[in-house]
Amino acid sequence: MPDQIKSIKLYHYPLSRSVRTKWMLHEVLGEDFEVERVPLLQGGQFSEAFLDKNPNHGVPVLDVTYPDSTTQSLFESGAQLIWLADSYSEKGLAPALDDVRGRADYLQMMHFGGSWMDMMLWQIRLNEDLLPKKVRSPALAQFNRDKLKNEVEPQLERRLGEHDHICGDHFSAADCMIGHNVGWARAYGLCLAPVFDAYRSRLAKREAFKLAYADADSFGT
Ligand SMILES: N[C@@H](CCC(=O)N[C@@H](CS)C(=O)NCC(=O)O)C(=O)O
């Protein structure tokens, strides 16, 4: 733990976007952080205490406590991944600040995963599973399925065909974002080409990945 950080706590729900951050935390801290499960299906994200941390009522929330005992709550998974990689730079999970070209590619993939690809996955999930049936739009779900398949998949396939990881041969925090998204897409019958099988198998060999997904069986409870 760098001197400027006293402790870290993750608010988490299995298989959700908070796996991105849990995975990254295991990469940089092993098991030296606290995890609290937020009971999303029982509405725990709407408690007053949780809304104080994240008015958008979602996980992951990362509570960072500083040596002066103040706590800062971070509530965007992409920001959490970037912040963790930079705060634990000795782990080598992000290109160094003076690697201008590498940094540009890494940040681009991180945001592509956290906003553009995430937006398509979210629209599919909302319109196929989450919204009340009468307000779901099968057409919007299909539009986003087509967009992900025809526009996103070829970009990822090209990258993963050329290198083992999303930003080259080395694993980086951007793999916690894109790797998680690929797993999410596969649950919806997308990203099924062999190059994605190989990518997920490669990632699944990592100890931190295994720890992050260890509670996957309790999704839905
Ligand atoms: N942009 C946010 C999205 C967070 C988010 O929507 N989390 C979902 C789980 S995947 C959630 O907790 N939803 C509960 C709710 O919206 O009430 C991030 O990437 O961290």
- How remote is the CA of residue 205 from the centroid of ligand 1, in Å? 27
pLDDT of residue 43: 95
Residue 218 predicted with pLDDT over 90: no
Q: Give, as one character, the DSSP assignment of residue 38.
A: -
In the chain, what are the domains? 7-93 (3.40.30.10), 100-206 (1.20.1050.10)
Phi/psi for 11 (5° steps) reads: -95, 125
pTM above 0.75, yes or no: yes
In testing the pocket of ligand 1, which one of 18, 21, 42, 59 has its CB within 8 Å of the most ligand atoms?
59
Atom of ligand 1 nearest to the CA of 118: 19
pLDDT tens column, 129-181: 999 999 999 999 999 999 999 999 999 999 999 999 999 999 999 999 999 99
pLDDT of residue 111: 98
- How remote is the CA of residue 60 from the centroid of ligand 1, in Å? 7
Atom of ligand 1 nearest to the CA of 38: 12
- 116 contacts: CB under 8 Å, gap ≥ 6: 152
The Cα-based distances of 193 to 30, 40, 151, 185, 197 in angstroms read 32, 32, 14, 12, 7
Residue 20 predicted with pLDDT over 90: yes
The mean pLDDT value for 54-78 works out to 97
Query: Looking at ligand 1, which residue's alpha carbon is closest to its atom 12?
Result: 58
Q: Give, as one character, the DSSP assignment of residue 165.
A: B
CA dihedral 200, 197, 146, 18 (to 10 degrees): -20
